[in-house]
Structure 1
Amino acid sequence: MNNLGRTAVFLAGASALALASSAFAQTNPPESPPAGDTVETTVEAVVVTGSRVIRNGDASPSPVTVVQTDDVLRAAPGSLAEALNVLPVFAGSRGAGVNPTSTGSVGAGNASANQLNLRNIGANRTLILLDGLRVPPTLLNGVVDVDLIPQMLVQRVDTVTGGVSAVYGSDAVTGVVNYIVDKKFNGLKMLAQTGVSQQGDGEKIDVGLAAGTRFANGRGHVEASYEYRDEKGIAYRSDRDWMDVWGVAGAGTAANPYVLYSDLRQAGFPFGGLITSGVLSGQTFGANGTLRAFVPGTATGSSALQVGGDGGYYDSSLLAPMKGHQLFGRVDYDLTDTVHGYMQVGGNLKTNANYSDYVRLTNVTLSATNAFLAPAYQAQLAGANQSTFRLSELMSSGGRLEARSKSRQWIYMGGLNGALGDYKWGLDFTHGQTRLGTTLANNLNNQRLAAALDAVVDPSSNKIVCNIALTNPSLAQGCAPLNVFGPTAASAEAIDYIFQETHYTARTVMDSVSGHIDGSPFSTWAGPVGLALSGEWRKLSFESASDAGPADVVNCTGIRYNCTAGSALWTQTFAGSPKVSQTVREAALEADVPLLKDLPLMRALSVNGAARFTSYDTSGDYWTWKLGLDWRLNDTVRLRATRSRDIRAPTLYELFAPVNSVPVSTQDLLTTLSPTVASVDLSNPDLKAEIGDTATLGVVWSPIPRFSVALDAYHITVKDAVTQVNGATAAYQRACYDSGGTSPFCALQDRLNGYADKSASNVVQRWYTKYYNIAQVETWGADLEVNYAATAFDRPASLRFLAAFQPHVYYRQPGVTTTDQGGVAFGPLGAAAGPSLRLTALARFQPIENLTVDVMQRWRDDMKLGGDPSQIWANNRIASFATTSLTLTYAADTRAGRTDFFLNIQNLFDADPPPGAYALNGTRAGLRDGYAIGDDVMGRYFTIGARLKL
């Protein structure tokens, strides 16, 4: 039985369970009524996302999930991106609660950007639309930070869970998310809300204003909105007691399996400094600069990690703070009775921040006469004829690496549309520009560190100064000597000297002109045939600049210790990029053909098809297509199916990104050591588009008014998938070593003595990551959506239930073991959690006239910690997790208008997420992980607010 067949079996069982109970219902297309309305409210037919010719969502062969903005924000107040992620079809989305990173490829310049990810196979395979038009990318990797969409005037969001590249172009491999603006809003609405966690942190403030009115006797309409959001975040992982420095140690072998530990410490790296050579070896500095014996923790399967003891640990941010302004304005005007024009602008001005690494000093050389060292210890070193000694330390006193990402995102749209006889046409122009500036505070200047570590007494002033200030004053650069003998010994002047701010700025611009014409040129006996012809020209450009590039090297003149000529000046580097561009030309034809109607078991039967030709000046020419079937057996049952071929072209960053490097401490499986070495990112100009093949099969059952059930199976295969292959990943390391050095993956690491020498002298010198068209991604599963709107005790009530079943996400590459990220919590290159079963239930009840109660229940099943079958774990499991949310809304009619006062409690029962970590992140205890991305880390959270509508 093939995968789609197995899924169909699952659907049959799930359907039986769903139909056995009248408590569950689906929204395809019925919608739950907002607070204060009655369930008799009908929903207008809409132009369905996923097609240019189908005018009613009931006739769509593609599964479409529709959410009204007011509904989803009532259940989860805050940003619309966070609210959408309650839908189970999204998995692996990134946002504020992710692992902190700097400007590396995972963060794409802003590690805390809100990125929507359908099916957990990459946000870059989910296309973001605004009123059916492509939204320009905002991040380095071509992904859209959806905070760009001003949400005060977004009426609804349509999510198509199937490939639609033939309709919308590249990137729509797993589907599209289409934000629909309320273009006819008249009146005034305001929002004010604030929230805080039960622990007193994570404060949020959100205020917004939107207004709209007609003018010119109704021929014109203008609307605008503004929203301000301030989220304080959670600055330290230690601010939650369940976050107990979790990490994984071991080698993943039968003899030394991976084990999840808490209370981990960095072996040999205390906060106060550990002497690692000579007569004083094995002693650590206390707060007053005095030495005592270092107390090691309990050994683990990784030499770099211990449980407890005097070792230090990282304490990175848990939720990234954010402050932003969203702006939107739109003008519509009927130029004639048949021609309509519009112009609109949307902007998002925001700043995110996250906090990650402390600086780690690894066996730095210090003078035995260092001016900060107590005379008694200097005497002991002199008595042992030691002129120098070595020291290792985790420098918590210097502060954490802070990445502040300042985004300036603007999207301008304008166009004409109208009627030409029985045909409708449209012409649209889009200009998007993003300026993403990332400031790295506390970036270590290695040259200054080497100079500051060499502290001596100036004989002329009897003050402690840097040695270079005496030997080569012209290169001293205001050097302030650094005291590393104790957790808080360093002076503020020394910290300011060795740490500096560095800056990286990227600019992305997209211009697009698109047009379409659609109508019905003729009819069959079953109804009119719909045709749509569309075309688009698009140009995307990218450029960046940096003041801390990998070509910046140290000048060791006058520096005695810890300086190697030609080595990197900065601990964190990011190279600038000259301007590169990509031009795309596309043309598409879509048809919807009714075949039969009003026959036994054939109330209506229609087919939908689309074909698109796409030409990239960087990646070549491609055809995409889609076929769909909509079969309405009777008034209660319909079947739908699609088959599509889709593409995702490589982004400019994947093709032309400059060489970039960041320090990492991944375990070297050949020598079992965990050195801190550079990880170098490489682009690949020879990439071609990846090809997606998608099939869906579904059934919709609506036996009574306001009750419906939809079940849809899907199977997606992506061939020639563009994958960033990281040479440090365990699977690629093993493939290299097992081949004796002949595997192409051996080119992704540097060593001095080949691949047979396992001694410490042959430890890895550098890792590389590079993009290749070598992967195949395959996933399959099913979505269940049920909606029921009725009355309970003669009062309005509704229930919506959504489920996503996705047992497998296979990643296949030549020469390495196939990994399965389905039902797995952690993976390489920042892979996020993908539970195999995700459930969300939304219930609403109006017990009295003006009071509405909303309850949301979310649940995911348990997962594996790692998806590599070659890894051996002591316990490869992270427990299931559930949260409950409650909203009380009171609608009051005042002179000012209708005002909804609300209280929302997220995570009502204050559930703590179960602990977990990624196997290869364990060499930096407390820096990342600790929980599965997507789980709630805030705990019980209270939001109060008011919505006013005039």
Structure 2
Amino acid sequence: MPAVSFNWRPKSLHLSSLPLKKLAKLNEPYHNRIEYRQEGLDFDCIEHAPQSPLLSSRKRGAKVGKLNNKHTANARFFRASASIIAIICAGSACPSLAQNNNIQNPAEDVTEISDIIVTGTRVIRDGYKAPTPTTVIGEAEIAAKAPANLADYVNQLPSLAATSTPKANVAFISAGYVGINALNLRSLGENRTLVLLDGQRVAPSTLDGLIDVNQFPQALVKRVDVVTGGVSASWGSDAVSGVVNFVLDKEFTGLKGEVQGGVTTYGDDRQYKVSLAAGTKFADDRGHIMISGEIAHNDGITGIGSRKWYDGSKIFNNPTYTATNGQPRLISSPAVGYLSTFGGVITTPGALYGTYFGPGGTPARLNLGLVSGVNMQGGDWQYADFTKNGDLTPKLSRQNIFGRVSFDVADNVQLFAQGSYARATSRNAILNYLGFGITVQRDNAFIPASIASQITGPFTINTFAGDLGVVTAHTKRTSWRSVVGAKGDFALAGTDWDWDTYWQRGIARSYVGADVPINQNATNAFDAVRAPNGVIVCRSTLTNPTNGCVPFNLFGTGVNNPAAVDYVLGTAFRRDRLKEDVFAATLRGNPFSTWAGPVSVAAGVEHRREGVSGSVDPLDATLPARPAYFVGNYRPTFGSYHVTEGFLEVVVPLAKDAPFAKNLDLNGAIRATDYSTSGYVTTWKLGVTYSPIEDITFRVARSRDIRAPNLAELFTTSLTATQVLNDPANGNTSYNVFQVSRGNLALRPEVANSLNLGVVVQPQFLPGFAASVDYYDINIDDAISTVGAQIAVNQCAGGNTVFCNQITRGGPLGSSGVPMLTSVAVSPINFAKQHAKGVDLEASYRAPVFGGNLGLRFVGTRYIKNLFDNGISAPVDTVGTNGYNTVAKNSLPKWRYVASISWDRDPIALSLTGRGFSAGKQNTTYIECTTGCPASTADNQTMNDNSLPGAFYLDGNITVKLSGQIQTYLSVDNILNKDPASVAYGPGLSVVPINVNPVLYDVQGRVFRAGVRFKL
């Protein structure tokens, strides 16, 4: 059954709940062409593809014809709106309206087209063109890519940057992000991107509001709408950088399924996915029921060092640097390990300095190479590098089931209910224990006899404690979601109105845990002595015989029994239960007309409640004032808030078919919001679309948007995490410090002022071509942020005494005689500013070639500015950052792009996609130089090599129709098996020093996926 593409000018907008009904075929004598005319509505469609990503016929063999009078206004809206489909679908299958060339009677056998859900606006009207740019990923595009996870494909859009994925979040144990698949428009933060499911909110998956896409019923997603502009007035809080709406095929009938398997070219990260969906009508087509289920699994990739491209690149302090010798302050270099080993190395100056302990505790001399702080360049760097042990990608499994039933209780009223359950689990190895500067007493019972005579007093040892194994993080997330509602239409005063209402309850439960050393147990076990009877025991046992301590041998690997390991290790975990209730109602209609056409309005109300409760492991519960574990140290969070909102959106046509304008429309929206925590706030939007001629449309939108503080920012109980800080008061010495974070009930909503300017072109002299250019400018005031621990320490050392109150010192004196740092407290406040600017480009062309259909498409974003200013340190513009350094999620190249070429001719469809990003820097704050360097400052440090390359990857797909509705396919990602760049980590040492940036670079290598799908 052939599909069609719409051959008219682009309008670049989204559709919303559009009830198009009853199309019948016009018997026009055109080959492969259908023409539609109805009260000023005229357009033609060209057949080109067998599957529809956006529109679907409810009955196969549909006859196409005129729209019934009841929905004439909606039909004209459809004409003006569908031009966006012409832009976004080039290079892929586009809206499908089936035809039958054998039908002679145009009045017979009419059909219905399912509702179209719009994300960019709440308004339905004639000829409306949305001023907010929108990109759509259709069902056919998703099928052609055949992604293992839909979020992986969506994240390839250039407008989505620095997003949270399981590959990118291996380091974020304490934050609870491990295993999350979230979305981040404009690199402004995932919590500033509103993610919807069928236009409805979903309960957050984390305390700070991230929505895990893993929970969505991906087998039923028919398209993904990406609105790249602030639309808080239409959709509410969090839509600062835009909205991503996953639209389900709620009218699906029949049976469809897919089986997919995949593996990398190295034979690892084996994966599979199985999905099945079924839908049917009942009660004389008044009712509809459907259900879907999906299971998917990825094995993950064990050990970063399993890839040949790993070279141990790190950043460390130049040991020969002085403020006046012109050398760079920092050195970026490969072949860098640490002044530590898995069996320990002595670091006290003297004859034993550099003595390490190998298997069985055998002492040997470590080839130190160039030592700088905790780093060691050259020498035995590979032996002294634990980074390679961390998993490159996590093990991830997910399952979900979804069901929906609807029933037309009257011709114009439908009731519906749906429910879903999803579960996602992940596991990844992330680090070894980092014991730097552990003091060992002279009488330690495990000191090897061969060196015991040379020990004259206490000494220090650095160790990764290899016998403890690799720290493993594991998560489990479940979500329950139920929705009940109704929708319908009615006539009032000669005009048609549509309404819908729903109530939703979502409950998300999460478990985040890590098997890590217990701090006090490790301290007790490492201090081992001989009891009077000659038995080795913990020193603490001499005074407390029943404390259960088991001594641990710090000297060597393979020297400890399981009892010692079990005593040192524990499981830090946190359980959270997040609950969200939403009630919403919307009314849409065209109450009156101007000289240029009907005025359209949408109005609605929404009430939402969000809350969290939780629990933690017994040690964290009993030791709230100090960290119990090496990492993790969770705290339970309790709190809730509610918000009530009302909105009004209106579209006013100002001109149509006038000498100066083919179309001119004004769009405005306003939303009143009242938060129980922060009070009242107003958001608004004002936009204009202007088409001077048929071939071109200009659009402009100005909006005021907000992001309200989330549960974590409001209610987080003191949360302790391990962080390595440089201490300026002690010669910039680096060591582990506890950062204590807590919430702030005095927070206010962030306020963003956004401007969008764009032009959409589809020249009539070049059928099949469309292009758009859109500029965006987003200013966020009162941004909720924290002054990082390192900044607070630097500010205090620089004389800003306000931050000294956040710092706690204690323990031994440092190199300058100042007590060492022990903890730094941080809290979110409204004090920062963010400013983002950029340009989105999109172009497409489609034409018949060699008896098939050729499609070309390009989508790119040029990021111009992404400035963060906390008013304390120097403002930082992250555009051009390709690194994965201190703030990993700020990776943002100047250019990101995706280009594709496709050709299809039954029974074969081929596609080739190129995706990539531009070259950049490891960190935009660094100044690159090798000689004659300027003065290095805390805000702008000098470094010998600050460059990182861009990357270009090729992906391919071939799909073959076997018979009927059965297809088989082969997809290959990263066909050229291009290695990622090694991203130098540092300076200093954190618990998870990643040496690659999985946010940008392809870290898996070439990946093969093959599968079979069917639709009956």
CA contact (8 A) 1:866 1:919 kept: no
Aligned to 1:853: 910
CA contact (8 A) 2:638 2:715 kept: no
Map 1:48-59 to 2 at 5 A. 48-54=118-124, 59=129
The one-letter code of the counterpart of 1:635 is E
The one-letter code of the counterpart of 1:788 is Y
Deviation at 1:766, TM superposition (A): 2.0
CA RMSD of aligned residues (A): 2.8
**After superposition, what is the alpha-carbon deviation per residue over 1:153-184, rounded to whole angstroms, capped at 9, x for unaligned?**
11111111110000011000010001111011
Aligned to 1:531: 601
Larger CA deviation: 544-553 vs 46-55: 544-553
Map 1:792-811 to 2 at 5 A. 792-811=849-868
Rate the CA distance shift 1:313–1:760 in 2: closer, same or farther, 3 A.
farther
The one of 708, 725, 728 aligned to 2:770: 708
**Equivalent position SS for 2:404:** strand
Aligned to 1:284: 356
Aligned to 2:808: 750
* Whole-Å separation in 2 of the counterparts to 1:390 and 1:637: 73
Aligned to 1:890: 960
CA contact (8 A) 2:165 2:179 kept: yes
- 1:699 pairs with 2:765: no
Aligned to 2:27: none
Rate the CA distance shift 1:802–1:33 in 2: closer, same or farther, 3 A.
closer
Deviation at 1:504, TM superposition (A): 0.7
Aligned to 1:203: 270
**Equivalent position SS for 1:490:** coil
**After superposition, what is the alpha-carbon deviation per residue over 1:692-718, rounded to whole angstroms, capped at 9, x for unaligned?**
111111111112443211111111101
Rate the CA distance shift 1:601–1:758 in 2: closer, same or farther, 3 A.
farther
Rate the CA distance shift 1:332–1:379 in 2: closer, same or farther, 3 A.
same
Deviation at 1:269, TM superposition (A): 4.9
**Equivalent position SS for 2:925:** coil
Map 1:316-327 to 2 at 5 A. 316-327=390-401
The one-letter code of the counterpart of 1:582 is Y
The one of 146, 150, 153 aligned to 2:217: 150
The one-letter code of the counterpart of 1:196 is V
After TM superposition, the score normalised by the length of structure 1 is 0.89
Deviation at 1:115, TM superposition (A): 0.9
Deviation at 1:246, TM superposition (A): 2.2
Aligned to 2:290: 223
The one of 404, 409, 414 aligned to 1:335: 409
**After superposition, what is the alpha-carbon deviation per residue over 1:872-922, rounded to whole angstroms, capped at 9, x for unaligned?**
2222221111100011110111xxx411111111000011122224544x4
**Equivalent position SS for 2:252:** coil
Aligned to 2:89: 31
* Whole-Å separation in 2 of the counterparts to 1:918 and 1:263: 12
Deviation at 1:767, TM superposition (A): 2.6
The one-letter code of the counterpart of 1:942 is F
Aligned to 1:936: 1002
CA contact (8 A) 1:548 1:573 kept: no
**Equivalent position SS for 2:891:** coil
Aligned to 2:831: 774
The one-letter code of the counterpart of 1:725 is V
Map 1:436-585 to 2 at 5 A. 436-441=510-515, 443-456=516-529, 464-469=536-541, 471-476=543-548, 479-547=549-617, 552=622, 568-585=627-644
- 1:633 pairs with 2:683: no
CA contact (8 A) 2:723 2:991 kept: no
**Equivalent position SS for 1:596:** strand
* Whole-Å separation in 1 of the counterparts to 2:84 and 2:95: 19
* Whole-Å separation in 2 of the counterparts to 1:553 and 1:532: 53
The one of 645, 649, 659 aligned to 1:590: 649
Larger CA deviation: 122-131 vs 831-840: 831-840
* Whole-Å separation in 2 of the counterparts to 1:925 and 1:623: 43
**Equivalent position SS for 2:969:** strand
CA contact (8 A) 1:223 1:330 kept: yes
* Whole-Å separation in 2 of the counterparts to 1:268 and 1:574: 25
The one of 739, 743, 758 aligned to 1:679: 739
Deviation at 1:616, TM superposition (A): 0.4
Aligned to 1:844: 902
**After superposition, what is the alpha-carbon deviation per residue over 1:248-271, rounded to whole angstroms, capped at 9, x for unaligned?**
113797644333222221125554
CA contact (8 A) 1:73 1:83 kept: no
* Whole-Å separation in 1 of the counterparts to 2:758 and 2:189: 24
* Whole-Å separation in 1 of the counterparts to 2:151 and 2:126: 26
Aligned to 2:107: none
* Whole-Å separation in 2 of the counterparts to 1:249 and 1:210: 54
**Equivalent position SS for 1:667:** strand
The one-letter code of the counterpart of 1:716 is I
Aligned to 1:191: 258
* Whole-Å separation in 2 of the counterparts to 1:768 and 1:693: 31
Deviation at 1:445, TM superposition (A): 1.4
**Equivalent position SS for 1:359:** coil
Deviation at 1:333, TM superposition (A): 0.7
* Whole-Å separation in 2 of the counterparts to 1:689 and 1:567: 31
Deviation at 1:33, TM superposition (A): 7.5
* Whole-Å separation in 2 of the counterparts to 1:725 and 1:296: 37
Aligned to 2:377: 306
* Whole-Å separation in 2 of the counterparts to 1:28 and 1:947: 27
- 1:623 pairs with 2:676: no
- 1:909 pairs with 2:976: yes
Map 1:382-397 to 2 at 5 A. 384=456, 386=457, 388-397=458-467
Aligned to 2:430: 356
Deviation at 1:363, TM superposition (A): 3.4
**Equivalent position SS for 2:890:** coil
Rate the CA distance shift 1:446–1:709 in 2: closer, same or farther, 3 A.
same
Map 1:643-662 to 2 at 5 A. 643-662=702-721
Unaligned runs of 5+ in 2: 1-82, 101-112, 927-939
Larger CA deviation: 571-580 vs 538-547: 571-580
* Whole-Å separation in 2 of the counterparts to 1:57 and 1:539: 37
Rate the CA distance shift 1:303–1:371 in 2: closer, same or farther, 3 A.
closer
**After superposition, what is the alpha-carbon deviation per residue over 1:292-345, rounded to whole angstroms, capped at 9, x for unaligned?**
233212235x55443443634333221111011021111111011111011111
Deviation at 1:733, TM superposition (A): 4.6
* Whole-Å separation in 2 of the counterparts to 1:70 and 1:433: 32
CA contact (8 A) 2:474 2:514 kept: yes
Deviation at 1:145, TM superposition (A): 0.9
The one-letter code of the counterpart of 2:1004 is M
Deviation at 1:397, TM superposition (A): 2.6
Deviation at 1:660, TM superposition (A): 0.8
CA contact (8 A) 1:265 1:925 kept: no
Kindly tell me the number of residue pairs found equivalent between the two proteins.
893
CA contact (8 A) 2:87 2:844 kept: no
CA contact (8 A) 1:117 1:123 kept: yes
**Equivalent position SS for 1:119:** coil
* Whole-Å separation in 1 of the counterparts to 2:117 and 2:528: 72
Map 1:59-78 to 2 at 5 A. 59-75=129-145, 77-78=147-148
Deviation at 1:440, TM superposition (A): 1.3
The one-letter code of the counterpart of 2:572 is T
* Whole-Å separation in 1 of the counterparts to 2:249 and 2:705: 30
**Equivalent position SS for 1:356:** strand
**After superposition, what is the alpha-carbon deviation per residue over 1:801-821, rounded to whole angstroms, capped at 9, x for unaligned?**
101011210111213211101
**Equivalent position SS for 2:140:** helix
CA contact (8 A) 1:304 1:674 kept: no
CA contact (8 A) 1:266 1:312 kept: yes
**Equivalent position SS for 1:91:** coil
Aligned to 2:233: 166
The one-letter code of the counterpart of 1:521 is P
**After superposition, what is the alpha-carbon deviation per residue over 1:58-102, rounded to whole angstroms, capped at 9, x for unaligned?**
711110101113313422521111010121111111102215235
The one-letter code of the counterpart of 1:938 is Q
**After superposition, what is the alpha-carbon deviation per residue over 1:814-858, rounded to whole angstroms, capped at 9, x for unaligned?**
132111011212454442311111110121112x53111111100
- 1:785 pairs with 2:859: no
The one of 688, 697, 711 aligned to 2:748: 688
The one of 156, 160, 176 aligned to 1:86: 156
* Whole-Å separation in 2 of the counterparts to 1:304 and 1:745: 29
The one-letter code of the counterpart of 1:398 is L
Map 1:711-730 to 2 at 5 A. 711-729=773-791
Aligned to 1:420: 490
Rate the CA distance shift 1:298–1:522 in 2: closer, same or farther, 3 A.
same
